[in-house]
Structure 1
């Protein structure tokens, strides 16, 4: 059985926050932020819109794009680090808001690797025959857990959501190979501080880990898929930092035009960043039926995951 993505939907808030916003009250500049991170703008959700609200909008679009009825969804998995509550899960809220059947619903916490973690999880349920259509969501309202007065993190993160339907696809399409794992010893470098409620990050240590692991995992999933770098149509890294992304691209050995870059528009949207980038490249015509993709991410935990796939139903 081949398993892949049969539908996708996204949502980003309308409120655009520019680098000049942070320049106005922090010791920073548009030039510095752009050079060091690649970010020009990011989106912040309004106070009355939470993680689940964005997820519901993206989910409705994904189900419609998949061409199935909502009653056909068998399982909901949401990757998020910024849920409305510890519990109920965002997935349970989606189930209620959309009036879905009383299917299993759970959130998966692997930070910025969460979307790929959830794709891998969904694939197992479909392959085993337990589920036919799994809803996988990446949704984040990181603006609510970011200290906007902290020069080290304030300008890095944004809000957004994306959803896909994972199901059986035709021969030659779908997920090919994956790698995933964790290094808990690095958890001290990127975490949510329970005392403040805000993200804490040791940028230097996270950067070193990310440059190494993103390159390693990208190479491994291409090799496991029995592909070469020349055969990859699009490289879609987690949009954390343009310098990390460029280092990974160079390690993989693919040209710049084959790497998706959306960090300039959305900032780091954690679990939502990879599917938002997929949608961006679909709209730009860079991902077509039969395109070979490499997805790779890293995040707090520290976690990491990569996947090769062929786009299409």
Structure 2
């Protein structure tokens, strides 16, 4: 038995925040933001919206009418900006969806959290005894932890949620290989210190980590899967910022047409980034059975992950 992604959904708040607004906050210019990040706009949640609300909207987009829902055996939310310190945001999502008596829990590996959650879901399903599925959601509201005076970070982040159903697929499809890694000694590179509650990042050091760690993981999973980068039909990367993605595409020799980008219009949506981009790619050009997909990204911790799967 193999495990794969069965369905996708996403939600971004309607409020668009453009570079002119960010420039006013941070004392810079829209041109500086566009040149340095490649981001044109990002979405911010309403003051009344919680992370679980964004996750709920993405789940509803994925699940459709209630009468068509599959049997969901677990709810996993990847987030570093949960509704509150406790309980888990997944518990709030479970309640909003009317799902009872199943495990619901959060996972925090910052921007790469979705890949960690996907791996956990695959393990739960592989150990199961029925054909139920896992609801795996990446959701973050970064707008509330931004230092608006820091042009290097406030220009990057937006809010959103991406959802997937993870379940059994026929042999030959689904997850073929994956790698996850955390280098905790570098955890201070991306953090929200308790004394300020505001996001901070050593951008140059993070960029260096991405450019060394991510290629290593990517080629490890490709080797394990028996494929090459040229064999990948879609390459879904964490949307850290457009300029960094352009560097990775160039340095790894990726075909830009196979690497969809959502960063220019949504910014970096944290753990939601990979599932939002997968869903967007599917909406723009539906995934076909047998397509080979590479998922990869880096997040705080410092953590990184990569996975190769065949779409069913």
TM-score scaled by length of structure 1: 0.95
Matches of 1:303 and 1:66, distance apart in 2: 36
Counterparts in 2 of 1:76-91, with a 5 A limit? 76-91=75-90
Q: Secondary structure at the match of 1:298?
A: strand
Matches of 1:225 and 1:255, distance apart in 2: 19
Matches of 1:297 and 1:195, distance apart in 2: 28
Matches of 2:254 and 2:144, distance apart in 1: 36
Matches of 1:303 and 1:5, distance apart in 2: 22
Contact 1:66 1:165 in 2 (8 A): no
- Deviation of residue 31 (structure 1)? 2.1
For residue 281 of structure 2, what is the aligned residue in structure 1? 281
Contact 1:215 1:249 in 2 (8 A): no
Q: Which runs of 5+ in 2 are unaligned?
A: none
For residue 104 of structure 1, what is the aligned residue in structure 2? 103
For residue 296 of structure 1, what is the aligned residue in structure 2? 296
> Does the C-alpha gap of structure 1 residues 128 and 186 become closer, same or farther in structure 2, counting only changes over 3 Å?
same
For residue 166 of structure 1, what is the aligned residue in structure 2? 166
| Alignment pair present for 1:35 and 2:32 | no
For residue 93 of structure 1, what is the aligned residue in structure 2? 92
> Does the C-alpha gap of structure 1 residues 25 and 270 become closer, same or farther in structure 2, counting only changes over 3 Å?
closer
Matches of 2:220 and 2:66, distance apart in 1: 30
Aligned pairs, how many? 311
Matches of 1:67 and 1:259, distance apart in 2: 35
- Deviation of residue 249 (structure 1)? 2.3
- Deviation of residue 250 (structure 1)? 3.2
Matches of 1:244 and 1:292, distance apart in 2: 23
> Does the C-alpha gap of structure 1 residues 49 and 138 become closer, same or farther in structure 2, counting only changes over 3 Å?
same
Q: Secondary structure at the match of 2:160?
A: strand
Contact 1:4 1:173 in 2 (8 A): yes
Deviations 1:43-70 (A, max 9, x none): 0011001100010111122223998536
Deviations 1:258-289 (A, max 9, x none): 11111001100010000110111111116333
- Deviation of residue 23 (structure 1)? 2.1
> Does the C-alpha gap of structure 1 residues 176 and 252 become closer, same or farther in structure 2, counting only changes over 3 Å?
farther
Deviations 1:20-61 (A, max 9, x none): 112234332222212221211000011001100010111122
> Does the C-alpha gap of structure 1 residues 243 and 130 become closer, same or farther in structure 2, counting only changes over 3 Å?
farther
For residue 126 of structure 1, what is the aligned residue in structure 2? 125
> Does the C-alpha gap of structure 1 residues 286 and 97 become closer, same or farther in structure 2, counting only changes over 3 Å?
closer
For residue 309 of structure 1, what is the aligned residue in structure 2? 309
Alignment RMSD (CA, Å)? 1.7
| Alignment pair present for 1:175 and 2:175 | yes
| Alignment pair present for 1:14 and 2:26 | no
Matches of 1:88 and 1:230, distance apart in 2: 44
- Deviation of residue 141 (structure 1)? 0.7
Larger deviation, residues 147-156 vs 225-234: 147-156
Contact 1:3 1:174 in 2 (8 A): yes
Contact 1:282 1:288 in 2 (8 A): no
Contact 1:218 1:252 in 2 (8 A): no
Deviations 1:62-109 (A, max 9, x none): 223998536x11111100000011111110001111110221111000
For residue 239 of structure 1, what is the aligned residue in structure 2? 239
Larger deviation, residues 8-17 vs 54-63: 54-63
| Alignment pair present for 1:190 and 2:190 | yes
Matches of 2:220 and 2:27, distance apart in 1: 40
Runs of 4+ aligned structure 1 residues displaced above 4 Å come to 65-68
- Deviation of residue 253 (structure 1)? 2.4
For residue 143 of structure 1, what is the aligned residue in structure 2? 143
